[in-house]
């Protein structure tokens, strides 16, 4: 059983930055990959980014070049650094991990004003 706790959301102006964190705890052996999805009001949840255990990353076209992922392995934490934010980045961001199954965080709100 994996528990994920997210933090770091909030309000930013267009062009600003925010950093989301996602910390895993509980019983697990290997996390195959971590990632984030987001869901804007009235829209379906969409993929944002992921990082594999080997450190390979993949980003949605809409955030490529603006978002990066880093981590603190000792703390079982990953960070999503979001730069040059745009109003269309406004959404609830959910982190997840894939071990033997998929586990989700509680979500954190990101609001970007024009």
pLDDT averaged per 10 residues, the chain (length 114)? 94 98 91 95 96 96 98 93 98 96 96 96
Could you tell me which of 64, 9, 59, 63 has the C-alpha nearest to residue 35?
A: 59
CA 113 – CA 23 distance, rounded (Å): 27
The whole-number pLDDT of residue 1 equals: 85
List CB contacts of 10: < 8 A, sequence separation 6 or more. Answer: 18, 109, 110, 111
């Amino acid at each position: 059983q994996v528990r994920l706790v997210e933090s770091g959301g909030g309000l930013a102006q267009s062009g600003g930055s925010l950093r989301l964190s996602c910390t895993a705890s509980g019983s697990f052996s290997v996390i195959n990959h971590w990632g984030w999805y987001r869901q804007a009001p009235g829209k379906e949840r969409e993929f944002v980014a992921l990082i594999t255990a080997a450190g390979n990353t993949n980003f949605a076209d809409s955030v490529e070049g603006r978002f990066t992922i880093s981590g603190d392995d000792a703390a079982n934490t990953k960070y999503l650094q979001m730069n040059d934010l745009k109003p269309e980045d406004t959404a609830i961001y959910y982190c997840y991990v894939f071990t033997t199954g998929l586990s989700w965080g509680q979500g954190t709100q990101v609001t970007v004003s024009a």
